[in-house]
Amino acid sequence: MASEAQRRFGAVEAGGTKFVCAIGDESGRILTETRFPTTDPATTIAAMIACLRRQEAECGPLSAIGLASFGPIELNPASPQHGRILATPKPGWTGADITGALEREFALPVAIDTDVNAAALAEHRWGAAQDIEDLVYVTVGTGIGGGALVGGRRVHGLMHSEMGHLLPRRHALDATFPGVCPFHGDCIEGLASGPAIIARAGAPLEELGPDHPQWEIEADYLGQLCAQLVLALSPRRIILGGGVMNQSRLFLGVRRRTQHWLGGYVQRAELQAGIDDFIVAPRLGAQAGIKGALALALEIATVGATELIHADDNRAMAVLYAKNIATLQAFYTGALALAVEHAVSDHVLLASRGFQLVILQVPDAIGSTITIADPPRRRSETPIKLVFEVASLAAVRELAPRFGGAFNPKQREWTYRGQRVCDGQDPEGNVIQCREKVPVPTAQPSSQ
C-alpha cells in the first residue's frame, strides 16, 4: 500500500474555453499538467479521460479526483442532475455529465464544485488567505464569478453563488451601454467582464490608454461588487483574479470605489488603512483553478465521514451504507426533515436534534451485486433499526411514499412511554421507527 507521501490525486479544471488536467500530491505540488481547448462535450470529456489515464500511468494510481467546473452546475447530491452542467449559453453543454464520466471511468471518489469555489479553497490552503477562514474569491475574465468560504467551508445552499449576476448602479459615463449578459443585460458580468469591456471600448483593457474612461467605469463596477460582498457576507478578505485583473493598476481604483460605496458604514480598520490587504490579487495566480481542483480531491480523500463529527460533538451517530445515497438523502430530508450538514459525492452527513446520520455510498463493485426490489423489500431480519423523533406520524406516513419509502398504517401504531410509535422503511428497505410525543392533557381549573 502506498504511503501518505506517495498518494496521488487527479485534478480537472473544466473551463468554458480550455480544460486543464493535472496530478498533484498532498503538499499542493502539481506533478504534471496538460491543457487543451474545450470543444463539444463528447470530444472534450474523452480527451479529459485519456489525459488523466496517461498522467496516471506516469505518476502512479490516483486516490481521488477533484473537478473545478464552469457553471452553472448542480451540486445537490440528492438531485438526479448532480454533477451535471445546467442551462448554459455554451452550445451543447447543457446537461453534460463530467462528474459521472470520471466516476464511471476511474471508480474513485470525485469531488465537484464551481471553479471559483475551488479557487477560494486553494487560496485558503496554499495562497493569499492562509491566515483567515472567511473569504471571497472573484474572477473577472470572460465572465465574472465568485466563490466564498465561511469558517473555512465552501458556501452552498439553494445552488452555488452567482455573484457576477448582481445588479449594480449604472456609472454616469455608462448610461446607454446595454450590457452583454444574455440573461440580465447590465448585471456586473454584463457590464464589467472582458467581453463587456471590448463591446463598450472596442479593445481589451490592457490596450486602452491610462486616461481612457473605461478604467474608471471598470473600477466603479468592481468596487460596487466588493462593497456588496462586504455587506452580504462580511468576508475578512476579497481576492480578485482573472484575466482582467492582470492589470494591477486596476486594484487601486477598485479599493477606492469599494470605500466610496460603503460610505463609511462599516467602521473597520481593514476597510480603511488596511484596504490594500483586504482586496488583494491571488497568490496562486493562474494556478488557483487547477490547485482548487486538487484541494477538492484532497478534501474528499482525506475527510472520512466520521471525521466530519467535531470532537466536542456529543450527538449520537449512525452510519448507513447505501447503493444510492441521493435517493436515501432525499427520503431522510424530505420525509423525516433531517438537515444536510455536509455532502460530497460518496457520503452525506444529515442531522436532527441530538442525532447525526452518515450515508455512505458502497463501492460500485459491491453496489452492482445489490438488487433493490420495486417496491423495496423491508429488511425486517436486521437486528437494529434507526429511531427518529418526528413532529407528526401522520405527516411521515403521507410523505414517505413520495420519497420512495413506506410507513405502516395508523392501525399499527402503539404507545410507549408517552410517545406514539410506528415503523416504516426507507427506499432501500432499511427499517426505521418514528416516535411522536403525546401531548400531556392540561389540567382544568376546578370551579368553586
What per-residue string of b and e applies to 156-176 under the rule 16 or more CB within 10 Å gives b? beeebbbbbbbebebbeebee
Cα torsion angle, 411, 414, 420, 423, sign: negative
Do residues 162 and 298 both lie within one domain? no
pTM of the model: 0.69
Range(s) of the domain holding residue 379: 305-437
Do residues 275 and 366 both lie within one domain? no
Q: Which of 116, 103, 107 shows the shortest CA–CA distance to 164?
A: 116
Do residues 183 and 275 both lie within one domain? yes
Mean of all residue pLDDT scores within the chain:
89
Flag whether 221 is in a domain.
yes
Q: Which residues contact 371 (CB under 8 A, 6 or more apart)?
A: none
**Which of 272, 302, 332 lies at the terminal end of a domain, its last residue?**
302
* pLDDT above 90 as % of the chain: 65
Do residues 173 and 293 both lie within one domain? no
Flag whether 338 is in a domain.
yes
238-289: per-residue pLDDT in tens? 999 999 999 999 999 999 999 999 999 999 999 999 999 999 999 999 999 9
**Residue 5 — very low, low, confident or very high, per pLDDT cuts 50/70/90?**
very low
Between CA 326 and CA 392, with CA 382 as vertex, the angle to 5 degrees is 60
Give the 3-state secondary structure percentages of the chain, helix then strand then coil, rounded to 5: 35, 25, 40
Do residues 147 and 262 both lie within one domain? yes
Give me the residue label for grid cell 506533478.
Answer: 31
Q: Which of 280, 214, 185 shows the shortest CA–CA distance to 241?
A: 280
**Residue 313 — very low, low, confident or very high, per pLDDT cuts 50/70/90?**
low
Between strands 386-389 and 62-69, the pairing is unpaired
Flag whether 448 is in a domain.
no
Flag whether 243 is in a domain.
yes
Do residues 341 and 358 both lie within one domain? yes
Name the helix (H) or strand (E) containing 33: strand 30-37
In SS3 terms, 37-68 reads as ECCCHHHHHHHHHHHHHHHHHHHCCEEEEEEE
**Weakest-pLDDT range from 47-61, 69-83, 216-230, 363-377:** 363-377
**Which of 253, 269, 302 lies at the terminal end of a domain, its last residue?**
302
Flag whether 90 is in a domain.
yes
Do residues 224 and 293 both lie within one domain? no
Set of cell numbers at residue 183: 440573461
Q: CATH number, domain at 143?
A: 3.30.420.40
Q: Which of 296, 333, 303, 319 shows the shortest CA–CA distance to 79?
A: 333
Flag whether 382 is in a domain.
yes
- In single-letter form, the type of residue at position 109 comes to P
What is the pLDDT at residue 1? Answer: 34
Between strands 316-322 and 339-344, the pairing is unpaired
CB of 48 within 8 A of CB of 19? yes
**Weakest-pLDDT range from 135-139, 323-327, 427-431:** 323-327
Do residues 335 and 206 both lie within one domain? no
**Total residue count of the chain as it appears in this document:** 448
What is the pLDDT at residue 307? Answer: 43
Domain count, the chain: 3
Do residues 52 and 39 both lie within one domain? yes
Do residues 270 and 315 both lie within one domain? no
CB of 22 within 8 A of CB of 55? yes
Do residues 316 and 378 both lie within one domain? yes
Set of cell numbers at residue 4: 501518505
Q: CATH number, domain at 319?
A: 3.10.180.10
Cross-strand pairs, 437: 419
Do residues 142 and 261 both lie within one domain? yes
Question: Three-class SS of residue 207?
Answer: helix
Q: Which residues contact 237 (CB under 8 A, 6 or more apart)?
A: 128, 129, 132, 134, 135, 136, 277, 278, 279, 280
Name the helix (H) or strand (E) containing 399: helix 393-399
Flag whether 424 is in a domain.
yes
- Cα separation, 431 vs 187, in Å, equals 50
**Which of 274, 302, 330 lies at the terminal end of a domain, its last residue?**
302
Q: What is the DSSP letter of 283?
A: S
- Which has more confidence, 337 or 30? 30
316-353: per-residue pLDDT in tens? 788 898 988 888 988 998 889 888 777 776 788 888 87
Residue 447 reports pLDDT greater than 80: no
- Which has more confidence, 349 or 191? 191
Half-sphere exposure of 317 (CA within 13 A, CB side): 16
Flag whether 51 is in a domain.
yes
